[in-house]
Chains A and B, each alone.
Chain A
């Protein structure tokens, strides 16, 4: 059985293999982005105490102290939530940008032969 011609090979590589490689690479980059910003983890721990800073109330310390501790713990959670939320937003924006970039790369890849020919013509013409 004779092997494929080089032209067919080239088209297969150009239209199938290479785009798949770009898609897979950007998929890895997007997954990395998701992990880098710990988006899943931050959702799970959104309102956990910030760096586990929390205080315990002792029975004998009185109601004022109780309110004090309650407030402190609340701030710890809210502060943590705020920073985590911000990080998630940055992560999502970053992921979206990478997604767009990936799309651009694929488009650029498809257009490369046309850019190459255009560039050559411009080079001759100038």
Chain B
């Protein structure tokens, strides 16, 4: 028995004993609420209060307008209203949230819902707990029928330890920073530890983190709705804004014409919640609030949420939650494209901009920002390009002119190179949102989407969107790609008339969009994968180890077992010419990728100079041969033929491809190779292989000798070879292999003739003769091809053209003389 697990079992046992012995629900503070809840007067106090109030108002109205009957009822209904009002608030504010009295008794830490549902039978406890309407929402979002789960809990005999469940729930509460055990703590713990719920959630592929996320989702929505109704809460009062803060600030009439005041906009339409980018928001605040040069460049890819940082700043400034110098300021976006469209010429533009910037300085309460600022700070004025560096540069040194520019990495290089403005900005890098933040972001967006499309979005669909877009759309950032995918998915289910968005819808869309098989395999694909080796061997003779390696790599990838940080598989095939290296790749392309044309074939002998790098990965002026094809077809078989003939520096490009599964092309875009199989072939060391073949050396020692030879002769570097998943040695073909290859070639000819209604008989004598003539270890199967072409195809072609061979003929070729023989 493992001593550690035994030790923990003992600790657990005594802790459970302590919980059990000190447990006393009846003596706990929360029990009063549980007891009172049994009475209708307390349980329905709110309803009774509302009814009393309505009655009071009706009787009062009657008294005032009709006649003075029912006076007594006015007083009675009013007194009842006051009574139920008191009962409701006493129960909901005091009884349900008592102060913790005795720390040893775990029942003191129960929330009202947990105490009300409690039972020492875990199934009964969970059954009672799941009656809550919050759980109906949670389970529906997770795609589980809560009634089925409750029925299962009701009918199954309890087989779990209530004390373990309580302790686990308490730990869950502590982990989220709470003090009391709430109902979500119990469910989150039970989702992975209770013998029934564990199985239910496992069947739906749901873990405790998913349950936690959905609960957080519902609590955020509920809290927002509750807070909005309580006008006396500080955050609601502050929303009213204030008078007079801008009375000491100058007017900004010109600026107002060509800008969007985001502070005003959100005051009217409610500030959105800020998700992620906390560090970047703080950095931006710090730079804007300091003296001296206080201008910021938010640098990040489009779609990472750079403008959200400005919205967050507007919110914090409005609620006076930011730094001292930034509170109560307006965050205003200068709409330069609109301004440029309105002015007549460059001189007028400068004058207007100068006026606007002076207003900003004068107002002393404006934070300006410009989106895509790099478009206007190129430093060169020419037709089609506008440059405002000159007029902007004179204002940037003022700390009463804080400005934020939003740009991408390419734009940042342009601005840094512009000497008049580059040094006046401090850079803040804006990375994409994390997966966790993206899930929260999508949950928030889902409410609007559901309203717009009248559909329901399951939590698993949201999770699948984040997983699939992370894996299959690497060139775009979060949250943009996730949001686009969600939008597309909602349109898709509207088209197919489904009510709920599920993970399989997401996988279908991604599969269709990226041309990559995603998600569950259909029967046909499963059959192909299981029988891949035999299917390839229908087109290829010998080379069993190579076929096994590539088939295994493909199976691992489709079953989602291997990690996704490299290509599916990368193989280096070494061997003499004509032994089947390229043929193996072609056979795989035909069998799995459906067509040889779906293979990306690059002849590396065309890249023998350094200048050829541009042809391979592209440049700023043109796309690359390799990278453009991979971008179009991310799920591909890439064949790099004659690898040793490429320039050494070009081979170095592949170090990154093989190691990290990506490369930056000539246009600066990242190209993802993680869904590709890479097969490289090389004839290097053929002579050595042919020599050693005669000595009957084992494959392993020959391979080792070959690799040493590569390193010694600097054909390939060790770090290059090391990055391949596998290096496969292709040995010379024996006569038996060549006979099988001859059979394959002749079968193809037979099939072609059979399409014409001609029966071609293949004899052993013919095959033997072909092999006798064509056997040359230096040339492999290619010599056989030449012999078949020369002796067999030519004879058949002559027979067909001369009319000797007609439809219905039965033909064979004499082995010794290669003469045509017609048997009918």
Contact = CB atoms under 8 A, between A and B. Distances in A.
A36 interface: yes
Nearest to B107: A3
A52 B29 contact: no
Contacts of B83: 116
B237 A28 contact: yes
A30 to B, nearest CB: 10
B362 interface: yes
Interface stretch (A9-17, A55-63, A65-73): A9-17
Given A9-B32, A28-B232, A51 B247 contact: yes
B94 A17 contact: yes
A14 B87 CA distance: 11
B58 interface: no
Contacts of B232: 25, 28-29
Given A17-B93, A36-B240, A51-B247, A4 B234 contact: no
Contacts of A35: 238, 242, 320
Given A3-B101, A45-B248, A120 B27 contact: no
B234 A52 contact: no
Contacts of A2: 27
A38 B29 contact: no
Interface residues of A, number: 45
Contacts of A120: 75-76, 79
Interface in B214-258: 232-234, 237-238, 240-251
A25 B363 CA distance: 35
A11 B408 CA distance: 63
A3 B71 CA distance: 43
A75 B94 CA distance: 58
A119 B237 contact: no
A26 B149 CA distance: 47
Nearest to A119: B79
Interface string A96-126: 0000000000000000110111011011111
B31 A3 contact: yes
A12 B93 CA distance: 12
A3 B234 contact: no
A120 to B, nearest CB: 4
Nearest to A90: B243
Contact of A115 (B29, B82, B102, B242): B82
A10 B90 contact: yes
B86 interface: yes
Interface in A35-55: 35-38, 41-42, 45, 48-53
A35 B95 CA distance: 35
Given A6-B95, A51-B248, A122-B72, 5 more contacts: A9-B90, A36-B240, A38-B243, A38-B245, A113-B86
Interface of B: 27-29, 31-32, 36, 71-79, 82-83, 86, 89-90, 93-95, 98, 101-102, 232-234, 237-238, 240-251, 320, 362-364
Interface of A: 1-4, 6, 9-10, 12-14, 17-18, 25, 28-29, 32, 35-38, 41-42, 45, 48-53, 80, 83-84, 87, 112-113, 115-117, 119-120, 122-126
14 contacts: A1-B101, A3-B101, A4-B32, A6-B32, A9-B94, A29-B232, A37-B242, A50-B247, A119-B76, A123-B75, A123-B76, A123-B77, A123-B78, A124-B76
Please provide the 5 A-B residue pairs with the shortest distance between their CB atoms, ordered closest to farther.
Answer: A123-B76, A126-B72, A123-B75, A52-B250, A119-B79
